[in-house]
Amino acid sequence: MTGAYRANVSPLRAGLACRCPRCGRGPLYRGYLTLAPSCSVCGLDYGAADSGDGPAVFIVLVLGAVIVAMALIVEVRYQPPFWLHALIWPPLVLGGALGLLRPAKAFMVALQFHHRAGQGR
């Protein structure tokens, strides 16, 4: 994933914007979670980029802890009926996971590029 030149693009900024980790301008994705073959601006090949299950694991752990804490706080303070819990929390979990997965995956790809990660290194 190393290229001919390296711009000063922050992996966090490139990840949150879902942009190329080298130039910070080209789109990283072709679909919702499908990486483009290469950057349309600088030509960086995304073929070696593989974030694996890392972003999903981090999101499930962090988002799960936040949602459970929120559900416990709501239960202790307001004691709503269980059907209301079933109505409130699943959309928050699903929306949060889907909303965070794309930038988290882009951040992991940007970190791979930034640290020049390679197969078996």
* Tens digit of each residue's pLDDT (9 = 90 or more) over 32-88: 999 999 999 999 999 888 888 999 999 999 999 999 999 999 999 999 999 999 999
Residue 99 lies in a domain: yes
User: Among residues 37, 49, 50, 43, which one has the least CA distance to residue 25?
Assistant: 43
- CA-nearest of 1, 117, 113, 111 to 55 is 111
Q: Which pLDDT belongs to residue 8? A: 78
Domain containing residue 55:
11-114
Residue 1 included in any domain? no
Name the pLDDT band for 105 (thresholds 50, 70, 90).
very high
In this predicted structure, what is the pLDDT of residue 7?
A: 62
Domain count, the chain: 1
Domain assignment of residue 45, yes or no: yes
- How far is it, in rounded angstroms, from Cα 28 to Cα 20? 5
HSE, side-chain direction, 13 A CA sphere, residue 31? 2
Q: Tell me if 121 is assigned to some domain.
A: no
* Any domain includes 120: no
Is residue 36 in some structural domain? yes
Domain membership of residue 2 (yes or no) is no
